[in-house]
Amino acid sequence: MTERIGVYPGTFDPITLGHADIIRRGSKLVDRLVIGVTTNPSKNPMFSTDERMEMVRREVADMKLGNVEVVGFNALLMKFAAKQGATVIVRGLRAVADFEYEYQMAGMNQQIDDEIETVFLMADVSLQPIASKLVKEIALFGGSISPFVSPAVCKDVIARVEKIGRLGDY
């Protein structure tokens, strides 16, 4: 029997508890789960690709998942997935707005390579509101992000905010 490989792509800027939940659950669906850390300049990343990869590797190590690896990529997702030997793309959904975007992406991806299926996992109800963009915004305005990220990621984000400076008056 061939190994079932999945890819969970994202910018992970920073990795949140919601991402960790999808990684943990997605790793149960495949023999090997590749976390694809990608660049997306339109998202105005707070951390470099290398920093994000290290952050994700640390979080995955803490989860003690032996079938998960972290790989950086800067290419079309379907080409990256095919290169990894993946038959599944894992995507997390938080809300209806996510579904509309992800549904369109899955359709486009299927047009590119219909041998690779997209699997959607609903975020845990308690984690559904969490988004990396909002975590960064809260941190930049001096709010607490500890309910949304691990303690180690919280320290990373706070250190970065201290380096680049907070926004607004408080």
Active-site annotation, residues: 19, 43, 94, 132
d(CA 126, CA 117): 27
Q: CB–CB of 134/14 below 8 Å?
A: no
The verdict on whether omega for the bond into residue 14 sits within 30 degrees of 0, i.e. cis, is: yes
Token pair for 139: 């941190």
Q: Is residue 43 helix, strand or coil? A: helix
User: Phi and psi for 105 in degrees, rounded to 5?
Assistant: -60, -45
